[in-house]
Structure 1
């Protein structure tokens, strides 16, 4: 994270950042579905992220 980036303190803030990231990627033609390994070096944990498209219901934005 650079000094220009805001830190995330809540799940809601994380969700907002993920929404923004996925929308930008999708808007630029990146196929975001699938599994993503996030290797972060020895000072942070590694994560495995799975992205799947879900069906919108009538109440979705």
Structure 2
């Protein structure tokens, strides 16, 4: 790839980009991340990951 060209303008890379597949992969990543955050919250004794912020704000340093 020459200077000044990014993956979006490189014809070979652009052909290989499958937007539909990437959308499924991003969706799976987000679902897995949310599940992981929920598991962390439960392990910390919280009901929801949103409680992490409340917990962090209540801690004074």
Q: TM-score range by the shorter chain?
A: 0.3 to 0.5
TM-score by length of 1: 0.36
**Relative CO higher for 1 or 2, CA cutoff 8 Å, sep ≥ 6?**
1
Indicate the structure with greater helix content. Answer: 2
TM-score by length of 2: 0.36
Larger C-alpha radius of gyration, 1 or 2?
Answer: 2
